[in-house]
A and B are shown apart, each in its own frame.
Chain A
Amino acid sequence: MLQVIKWEFVKQFHRLKWIFLFFAVILLFLTLLPASWFKPEKDGSSMILMLFSMILVFGTLGLSLYPMYNMISDFRRKTYTMERITGRSHIPVFFAKIIINLAIFFLANGLVYVGAIQMDKFSTETMRYFTFTLNKPYLAIILEMVLLYPAILLFCYMSASTNHYFRNHRTIGTLIGVAVVSMIGSFLHLSGPVYYVVGLIIGIILIIASGRMADQRFEQHVYNY
């Protein structure tokens, strides 16, 4: 398992290193930039702050969605064979990805939090360029972004990919699956400790079920006969 986690870390490092470096440079720049640099009467400085704000917004959005992409990234046609020749079961790989998702989540959160603090020094009475607020308990956000949503997407992708009718249209099949799960989820009104326990159990069950589907039935549907 340690080897699996190590290689998942290495893969994510190579995939995300330039994005995180870019963010780090932006944040360093914002940190070094004195608050007095911003002059409301200067359109130029306002535009630059808007640009930084956009980068932070899209970066936050992208890094929030990344754990979901991470779960299905090994099934790309390009690298599927490389992964499969190892003979590993998918189940430990998926759990290793969850651990890596957690690390990426905290790192991304840290960057966004620092970004929000730095952008705050440029705020005026009428304008805030970038703020970062949570509308749910932090633990719920971790559960959802790191485990539950990635597990749901993975399960829907795997169900579509191993289904005779959807295997050639797995994106559509996955979206339909996610829509159905969202509808079912909207009828459940769980909160407090029950929500966390149920969410954790559902996430783990979906990952194990997806791993079994991937081990036994998944195939890259190739067209080079």
Chain B
Amino acid sequence: MDNFIQIEGISKKYDNKYVIKDVSMSIPSGRIIGLLGDNGIGKTTLLKLLGNLQKPDKGEIRIDNTPVNQMKAKDIVYLLEPANIYDWMKIKEAIAFCNDFQADFDKEKALRICREFGLDPNAKITRLSKGNKEKVCLMLAFSRNAKLYLMDEPLGGIDPTLKKNIKKFILENIPTDATIIMATHLLKDLEVLFDQIIIITGAGKIIYVDTDAIRKTRNQSIDEYYSEVIENAASH
């Protein structure tokens, strides 16, 4: 579908300061999209607006032609941060919690991913290393079969081996028409993953571009292009 996500004139402000201002764009389905920008620029807010965890002050977001505030949560995966998980939970309890409430959660797949990641389901999540906690969050997200996956800095503490194989892992574990929007600073590690990128340079200043176009027509890597955009934005 060409307009899987339609963002129409959304604005969001905190304490009278706009973080997102009059943003409109259409995002097709079946793409992996990098969401880039400096710290505090509005990446998390945009993801939370898309995930219906925040409400826009103005404008509307439609996903698959349905206003996002009327979407069932089962259609959208919002990647948890390790801190969001209850302190007392073991991995198997987090799996049971998701399995009891998420209709599209696949428990067998969750246990398979645990084995692939070397995670013991009986381990208490708070006692895991930072990287393994992030693996638990990835496991909970990719054990679902949804249309949209929203991920905020998912790979900060992940080991280099998984980073190297992350594209294969993602493509093996999501439906073919699913869309992933991933906020990250690890551009060098992940640029091969992205079909498109969204760069936020300020409230209302958003660049949305195909990565192939950058590589072929501009003959630049995504990292080089991003640095150029940020430098230009800073000089204006």
A residues contacting B by CB (< 8 A) are: 3, 6-7, 10-11, 14, 78-82, 84-88, 168, 216-217, 219-225
Contact = CB atoms under 8 A, between A and B. Distances in A.
A183 to B, nearest CB: 31
A11 B86 contact: yes
A84 B102 CA distance: 11
Contacts of B100: 3, 6-7
Contacts, number: 69
Interface of B, helix, strand, loop or mixed by DSSP = mixed
B93 to A, nearest CB: 8
15 contacts: A3-B100, A79-B86, A81-B84, A84-B53, A84-B78, A85-B77, A87-B73, A87-B101, A88-B101, A216-B69, A219-B55, A221-B14, A224-B40, A225-B44, A225-B45
B19 to A, nearest CB: 5
B163 interface: no
A7 B44 CA distance: 29
A82 B54 contact: no
Interface residues of B, number: 32
Given A7-B97, A79-B86, A81-B84, A86 B102 contact: yes
B234 interface: no
Contacts of B98: 85-86
Given A14-B88, A225-B41, A85 B102 contact: yes
Interface centre among B19, B81, B86 (most CB of A within 10 A): B86
Nearest to A88: B101
Nearest to A6: B100
B216 interface: no
A219 B101 contact: no
A154 B234 CA distance: 45
B83 interface: yes
Interface in B52-68: 53-55
Interface centre among A85, A88, A219 (most CB of B within 10 A): A85
Nearest to A216: B69
